[in-house]
Chains A and B, each alone.
Chain A
């Protein structure tokens, strides 16, 4: 039994292998692989193999007809990547626009959801608080419900005759027609979006002028930002909350006895102890926000004027709608690189300083 796996080991070394206080059982080998087989087959077929296939497609001219491995499909080298990064044209401009949009999305969502989640967790952590279970339920519920269902609700809330604008009207404010408004909020804040400074319009990067890069999220994107912060805060709040519950109370009490103010105790005592959770929340937040897809698919499909276009949606639409499969795969890999880069930068920024 199991000899196939154990054979190469010389007789004298066998008992040493894999022992942690337990003698290895020979039959474990076969059973182990048997137990793992379904997992390995599914992950191999639908995670590892797809990635390899997509790598090939991203350097090929496959158009979606027939097999990507047939002899009619040719390698185009880095052409798909070049079209996105170096060659002037609509492809590069759309990609740059999607990166800009998603960049602003990340810039707004990650800090907002992290700070808001931490704040709610701290309030809920107050010992004397009554109705904790109720509040926790209320804040967490949006996280478990379908992003499609939530997006439909927000479509109504932010429609031009919807709830948000009706509420704004109570305060005498005329709300915009949210999902139809492509104006960037930084442009709006700067006053006259119609007459941009020529110095910024004349030059640019990746086919977008500096003025376009600086637009800020569009009004339409802002409603998606609100939606995502609203839905994701609950989950992160619970992570902070669980971490707070696990902190030893003695440290905080010691600081209290030493006369530290509430503010000092938060910054100097609680927050440093929460560093691992903060790291986790920021990592998950960055990974999640760079992939925003469901909300864009349901709410806007990249409209208006491409200002809610994100790389994830562009990758999908290039392939499945535009049939530019190589292009779509290349966008997915570039997005992957962006996510890895951001994770590394964040890990470096949050490292323990000694």
Chain B
């Protein structure tokens, strides 16, 4: 009995440490600059102020948000399509070199992304894709981890289902599209969530693939906003409101799919 109370006490304390910063963020977005500086501990505003949202709306913020939405949706669609195509080929189609390709995909995933920071810029530059939406989107269209997840899933689909379709004369593309894909909702949703979240939160690639301010995403835009004014005044309500707004879409996705997020993502992670 005593131990259980202790357990709850620890959990509640830790949960408070995890939630409190978000409460502070929410409250500070509605505080005035002076209020934020004077009462940094209060999780509610003394004087409500909505001016920072107006400031953000007047600045480039809407444009960053639109860029983020466009880029993330394009990357997510691409990843879902290409990852599942590749995953299906690696799981189910028999042809020479399949194993080698899978090994190569795994090897490529293992390369630290930081090593690729400069090289990606070099290639984008050579291809004339620097400072364009294409340069921001195309390199992220495929994600090795997603290919891996789809492959693992397709391997669990019973072969008999496909064989029936094949005996009826359906080709690989038709079998994949009308038989296997409709059965793959759980895996598709997982890849969709991970892709959206990953591309929405991506920073380094959007730093090195563009420099035109009109192409800023929320991540690169907010990062510039924050560090650009670091030395001058505080303006924390403005910065925190920007951070708050960029968190909202991910938060919505998270809370709608939280069951899948917390269970599906790491199922079999210990294998």
Contact = CB atoms under 8 A, between A and B. Distances in A.
B161 interface: no
Contacts, number: 303
B270 A162 contact: no
Interface in A199-253: 230, 234-235, 238-239, 241-243, 246
B270 A148 contact: no
Contacts of A155: 226, 236, 239
B57 interface: no
A338 B94 CA distance: 38
A325 B118 contact: yes
Interface string B220-264: 001100110000001010011011101100110011001001110
11 contacts: A31-B173, A53-B126, A126-B4, A144-B197, A146-B243, A163-B21, A230-B21, A242-B263, A280-B269, A298-B226, A335-B114
Interface residues of B, number: 99
B157 interface: no
Interface in A130-171: 133-142, 144-157, 159, 161-163, 165-167
Contacts of A239: 266, 269-270
B112 A46 contact: no
A312 B19 CA distance: 30
A43 B118 contact: no
Contacts of A54: 115-116, 118-119, 122
A297 B250 contact: no
A126 B171 CA distance: 50
B269 A31 contact: no
Interface string B87-106: 01110011110100100110
A266 interface: no
Interface in A37-70: 38-40, 42-43, 45-51, 53-54, 57, 67-68
Nearest to A146: B201
A353 interface: no
A311 B223 CA distance: 20
B140 to A, nearest CB: 8
Interface residues of A, number: 107
Contacts of B93: 28, 31-32, 35
Given A18-B95, A38-B81, 6 more contacts: A29-B95, A39-B85, A136-B262, A144-B261, A156-B236, A298-B227
B40 interface: yes
A19 B94 CA distance: 8
A291 B114 contact: yes
A328 interface: yes
B111 A47 contact: yes
Nearest to A35: B89
Interface stretch (A78-86, A184-192, A314-322): A314-322
Contacts of B113: 291
B10 interface: yes
A42 B138 contact: yes
A53 B18 contact: no
Given A243-B269, A315-B114, A297 B234 contact: no
A24 interface: yes
A38 B41 contact: no
A277 interface: yes
Nearest to B116: A50
A148 B88 contact: no
A126 B7 contact: yes
Contacts of B88: 35
